[in-house]
Chains A and B, each alone.
Chain A
Amino acid sequence: MPDTYFYRYDDFDRTLVAERVEQFRDQVRRRLAGELTEEQFKPLRLTNGLYLQLHAYMLRIAIPYGTLASRQLRKLAEISRKYDRGYGHFTTRQNLQLNWIRLEDAPDALAALAEVDMHAMQTSGNCIRNVTADHYAGAAVDEIEDPRIWCEIVRQWSTLHPEFSFLPRKFKIAITGSPNDRAAVRVHDIGLRLWKNEAGEVGFEVIVGGGLGRTPMIGKTLREFLPRDELLAYLEATLRVYNRYGRRDNLYKARIKILVHEIGAEKMREEVEAEYLSIRDSALRLPAETIEAIAHQFAPPVLPERPMISGRVEAERLSNADFALWLKSNVAPHRVKGYAIVTASLKPAGSPPGDASAAQMEGVADIADAFSQSELRVSHEQNLIFPHVAIDDLPQVYKSLAALGFAEANIGKITDIIACPGLDYCALANARSIPVAQRISTHFAGLARQHDIGDLKIKISGCINACGHHHVGHIGILGVDKNGVELYQLSLGGDVDFGKTAIGTILGPAVTADKVVEAVDSLVATYLDNRQDNERFVDTYRRLGAKPFKERVYAAV
């Protein structure tokens, strides 16, 4: 039996990561010796995941396609204890950030990561970033093909790509293998969606030029159907067009979405297709054997079918109302009969979204060993997922998670808030995000009420760069600075669901920090007064428009 059900490094991968650590060790030495200026050192440290934040260096560790083995999570806990302050922050890009790293320690921290086949390469800088995927990949009921196979192929191709390491700006790729997109592929520089055409062949829809940030845009489909073995040729062609023609005169206009917007999707398609045709039949074409070898490593665990109804679950459901709610919100269907996908909420009432202490990470790793094939996922909604849990084990998983503080029955609810680190940590932020999330979370803490309010996604960013994805929140909250005062701009109606992807509309004037909770409360009250049938918040908003929400919010604040 393999020890993991996802890609395992071989000696090639291990050698490259080890050599990269040694290269960085030498670069840090030269920086500390004064042989490199900070300007020269900056892109080197960034492409090794090291940021200089407000108070200290931050290390952003790549968790490719959000998939982790329990032994890797234990190592992350160990690293956070040894080189940081004993906790980490899971991000909206399925990465882990440690906020208090010393420059001198960074090479050793990276060497420790390499021991469990992990790295921090290309989690920052103007290069191809860590590739993200559907967090239910390999377990989802609606999956056509495991997108992580393709993420791994892209990970290798993009790692230390000699042509694309000094792009105009960062470049983010996301891949989904399901019709119900959980990877937000329309708001990435490139989004790839696997689908099956009428001939029964599986290929990619290639979506280019989406993104959030200062200028939110929905990506354009450049290719309806791309044969899978031509993926790298198409990516290389797209990146080459971007590297050559993307703007470099203005940092805020340098993403590929601006190029697509300025020259138009048609012209972009022409350029990319022309480039692609001249490299399609090169060494970039993926041999079937290569694809099969990587796909083989993602072969799912063999899970014997089990009963869907469990006496233990039913007994607990009747006696424990919180558990009953948890089953509804935190447990999703699995493709194998008798199993479920469980989401551990890293959003207990009043806590910073996405934070986990070393002890909590170890506790989660123990649960994965006992109940989920030693495997975990990080979601872009900053939660941790057990992909393969037997239904009969759900009461025990719940109890173990409750002991860690991760059993809040709030997935998809108003307190399952996405928030960027904000002004508490980040050098770019204009305003704090985490305390706002904490106040909203505390205000709406009652589970029965949250479940009554239903599905509602709140997303908070501390600046226009939109790391908290506020543009696509049902309620988006953006922190802005006005003459030294932190204000918060509200927007409504954003969405990342495939086919419904939308950028939210600003509601009205920004409100002060102490009024954010009242404003959100007014929005929710307007919804509750007006909802019909099983309408979600965002559906009511779409039906009624902004007016009733706006009137109530500004009457209250």
Chain B
Amino acid sequence: MPLFSEAGLPASYVPLSFSDWQQRPEWPAVSLANTDPVEDLAPHVGRLRLIVLNFPKFSDGRAYSQARLLRGRMGYRGELRATGGVLIDQIPFMLRCGFDSFESEQKGFEEALAKARTLFSVVYQPTEDGRIPASRLRLDHTVAPTP
């Protein structure tokens, strides 16, 4: 499946399935099912270079939570790749949850990815993408608009 990322194609590691990786936890790349216990990666995130999270269907949103736990709770800094049911219209959500590479067969994906960060110039939630939510911007009275 074609691979896309904002920063150009990253160095390639071959990810192991979670059960294989548990046998070889020194390996820097792992692929999780969305039912695998993401918490188990916590002691290893400093070493991991690629974590692949799977969307069995685009409508199955469990991997969004896995992504946020990896980025927010565990401080994972390596590549976080979405695979499976990955569609253009999910990119803004995925970026906000910390994904930075994507496997997708949908036509026009690259163009959509280039525009995805600017599709919404306002966000309401604090997440792992570092964007400042509207509620915080409002507290900074130098930028907050008057109603």
Contacts and interface: CB of A to CB of B under 8 A. Distances in A.
Given A12-B137, A243-B64, A162 B122 contact: no
A334 to B, nearest CB: 27
Nearest to B56: A248
Interface stretch (B6-14, B25-33, B75-83, B86-94): B86-94
Contacts of A15: 121-122
B64 A293 contact: no
A44 interface: yes
B147 interface: yes
A157 B59 CA distance: 21
Nearest to B123: A160
A244 interface: yes
A163 B128 CA distance: 11
Interface in A3-48: 8-13, 15-16, 19-20, 23, 27, 35, 40, 43-44
- Which among A43, A163, A297 has the greatest number of chain B C-beta atoms within 10 A? A163
A166 B61 CA distance: 5
A160 B124 contact: yes
Given A40-B87, A126-B59, A162 B139 contact: no
Interface stretch (A51-59, A257-265, A277-285): A277-285
Interface residues of A, number: 42
Contacts of A13: 122, 134
Given A287-B139, A293-B138, A10 B144 contact: yes
Interface string B86-129: 01011011111100000000011000000000011111111100
Interface in B6-50: none
A165 interface: yes
- Residue of B90, B122, B134 with most partner-chain A CB within 10 A: B122
Contact of B64 (A20, A156, A163, A290): A163
Contact of A10 (B58, B119, B138): B138
B124 A159 contact: yes
A236 B85 CA distance: 24
Contact of A44 (B73, B89, B107, B144): B89
B146 A27 contact: no
Given A162-B93, A163-B65, A243-B65, A10 B125 contact: no
A444 interface: no
A163 B145 contact: no
Contacts, number: 106
A165 B120 contact: no
A35 B107 CA distance: 8
Contacts of B138: 10, 12, 290, 293
B43 to A, nearest CB: 16
B142 to A, nearest CB: 14
Interface string A377-404: 0000000000000000000000000000
A337 interface: no
Nearest to B119: A23
Contacts of A10: 138, 144-147
Interface in A161-180: 161-167
Nearest to A17: B122
B126 A243 contact: no
Contacts of A43: 58-59
A240 interface: yes
B136 A283 contact: yes
Interface string A247-262: 0100000000000000
A278 B73 CA distance: 8
Which of B89, B90, B97, B133 has its CB near the most chain A CB atoms (within 10 A)? B89
19 contacts: A8-B147, A9-B147, A12-B122, A12-B134, A13-B134, A15-B121, A40-B58, A126-B61, A156-B135, A160-B123, A162-B92, A162-B127, A163-B97, A166-B90, A243-B64, A244-B62, A248-B60, A282-B126, A286-B135
Interface of A: 8-13, 15-16, 19-20, 23, 27, 35, 40, 43-44, 126, 156-157, 159-167, 240, 243-244, 248, 278, 282-284, 286-287, 289-290, 293, 297
Given A12-B138, A44-B89, 16 more contacts: A10-B145, A10-B146, A15-B121, A16-B134, A156-B124, A159-B124, A162-B93, A162-B95, A163-B61, A163-B65, A164-B64, A166-B58, A166-B90, A243-B61, A283-B133, A284-B126
Counting from the closest, the 8 A-B pairs by CB-CB distance are A166-B61, A162-B96, A283-B126, A11-B145, A12-B134, A162-B93, A16-B122, A163-B64
